[in-house]
Chains A and B, each alone.
Chain A
Amino acid sequence: AQRVTQPEKLLSVFKGAPVELKCNYSYSGSPELFWYVQYSRQRLQLLLRHISRESIKGFTADLNKGETSFHLKKPFAQEEDSAMYYCALLYSGGGADGLTFGKGTHLIIQP
């Protein structure tokens, strides 16, 4: 079965410092990977997905199939980046499969 691991429950960095949120997955096929973000009192929203290979709000993530990782990075953290970040995997089981989420990392950007 597929699994997503986010090893850090909490990550605190200073404003302007680089950020890396770790995500590892286990899945035997070709997964689609996503990062969702949940700001305080707001809904889950898509931050980025690996197939689009774009940078959103300065964040990037590269799928590394050899290491089965999809780490989220930003070179210079901003206070508004403080939020819960969830890595998620979608596998193609034939139907409309649901996302498999990691437990999430709470990112706190200190001024």
Chain B
Amino acid sequence: EPEVTQTPSHQVTQMGQEVILRCVPISNHLYFYWYRQILGQKVEFLVSFYNNEISEKSEIFDDQFSVERPDGSNFTLKIRSTKLEDSAMYFCASNPGPTSTDTQYFGPGTRLTVL
């Protein structure tokens, strides 16, 4: 059964550095999402992507964040200048469509540690 994959599983970076988290959504899915979960807190929506552009974003998704789908398979989240409070698990998800309310399938997550 196809699954969403994410790399790396764990990323350690220094404060102020740029990081790129990578996701390969399930093939032929139409909608893509990033979520994060700070340790001990709830899973929070960051951004959704559809038809090669951002569809929705939360208040958390400020100018230091960006997303790209550089080719037909990858979906990336870039944090331009990391802060200590960016330490969290980051989950990618994809939805096959045709509607935005169809089921979201999650990846295993990338644990980001900012030192």
Contact = CB atoms under 8 A, between A and B. Distances in A.
Task: Tell me, yes or no, whether A binds B.
Answer: yes
Interface of A: 32, 36, 42-46, 49, 86, 88, 90, 92-93, 95-104
Nearest to A46: B103
Contact count band on B: 20 to 34
Contact of B42 (A95, A97, A104): A104
B43 A43 contact: no
A88 to B, nearest CB: 8
A80 B31 CA distance: 32
Interface of B: 3-4, 31, 33, 35, 41-50, 55-56, 58, 91, 95, 100-101, 103-109
B59 to A, nearest CB: 10
Nearest to A42: B108
A24 B47 CA distance: 24
